[in-house]
Homo-oligomer: A and B are copies of this chain.
Amino acid sequence: MHRIDKLTPFIVMDILAKAKEMEDVIHLEIGEPDLDPSPKVLQALEKAIKDRNYFYTPALGLPELREKVAEFYRVKYGVDLSPDRVVITTGTSGAFLVAYAVTMDAGDRIALGDPSYPCYKNFAHLLDIQPEFIPISKETEYEIKPDMLKGRDVKALHISSPSNPTGNLYSAQTLQELADYCDREGIYLISDEIYHGLVYEGKEHTALEFSDRAIVINGFSKFFCMPGFRIGWAILPSQLVRSAEIVIQNVFISAPTLSQYAAFEAFDWEYLNRVRETFAERRETLYEGVKELFEVDAKPQGAFYIWANVSRYTQDSYEFALKLLEEAHVAVTPGVDFGRNRTNEYIRLAYTRDTEELREAVRRLKDFLSSL
């Protein structure tokens, strides 16, 4: 099978393309915040333009930004971190590529949750790494636990918390156990923490609280509301930083320069708290509406998604999503985008729209379902 044939497209893009041809659609399919970044970010951007800061930067990123990211770990998690371990990347996407490239060879295996963010497996396929899917569900609290890894010959484990598509948060205990297990077994623990900050119940923990060897990936596209800036980071164990630098030199040269300067001011906590509150309110609105219509395994603790079981209406979530779009003008993502583990029974709804629109979406869903 050719490399390219192993990569799967985002199915949601079919929905999106169809939705764009229609009028009056409520978009609950989109995994990007609709809010602006902090005004300070935009000011920093303007200043960077005036200062002519649009040439290449060092491959690992601007030293000042690496320091600010290290500071973020001190402030938010109490984790002391050398800026030398911070690698600035072209979005978290860039960070995944770097992390996979420096840790795995062709033929190696990586453990991924099913369901999980569809790109993980495609990064693996791009590099001829074999994804090994571990079913997660309500019964496992949507967590991968160490005993689920036993007997599996994997080089890395990739988790996300809060998770896309389910919005669940890994507990400190499971993170500790996973970190211990991976350290003992010589498995790289890759922790995608891009939805940190967007947590409404409980407290998010970085894998770095539990292991210095964890690879942590985060960025500015979600909580910091800077998706189009394409800027993220990875925290690597010291001995992998030089390898990451070589990959970035070759594959990216450096992350977009103006975006790096703009990100200097992204850690604007007053603004970020309002972002969090906005999404918290939206979560309530959509969850209260949706739980009456579908079965929701668990109220999401973070991110901005609800993973809803629609099996009382269908066994084909893709067809269901299409019908929902065509008849109710509500765009959602079919579960099949995220894996094969009963994903035909689920849809993902994103609360990346204002509460007014979310309420209207619930009304439309209700009308649509009562007409079935």
Contact = CB atoms under 8 A, between A and B. Distances in A.
A253 B126 contact: no
A2 interface: yes
A319 interface: no
A8 B246 contact: yes
Among A122, A128, A227, A228, residue most surrounded by chain B Cβ atoms (within 10 Å)? A228
Contacts of A36: 52
Contacts of A56: 32, 227-228
Q: How many copies of this protein are present in the complex?
A: 2
Contact of A7 (B32, B42, B246, B258): B246
A141 to B, nearest CB: 28
A127 B126 CA distance: 7
Interface string A81-117: 0000000001101100100011011100000000000
Contacts of A37: 54
A49 B118 CA distance: 31
A59 to B, nearest CB: 8
Interface in A236-275: 243, 245-247, 249-259
A9 interface: yes
A324 interface: no
A243 B2 CA distance: 11
Contacts of A102: 4
A54 to B, nearest CB: 4
A55 B3 contact: no
A46 interface: yes
Contact of A3 (B90, B104, B229): B104
Given A8-B246, A94-B252, A229-B258, 11 more contacts: A32-B55, A32-B56, A91-B252, A93-B252, A106-B128, A123-B250, A126-B127, A126-B251, A228-B257, A228-B258, A258-B259
11 contacts: A3-B105, A4-B101, A7-B246, A7-B250, A10-B249, A32-B55, A93-B253, A101-B126, A122-B250, A122-B251, A256-B259
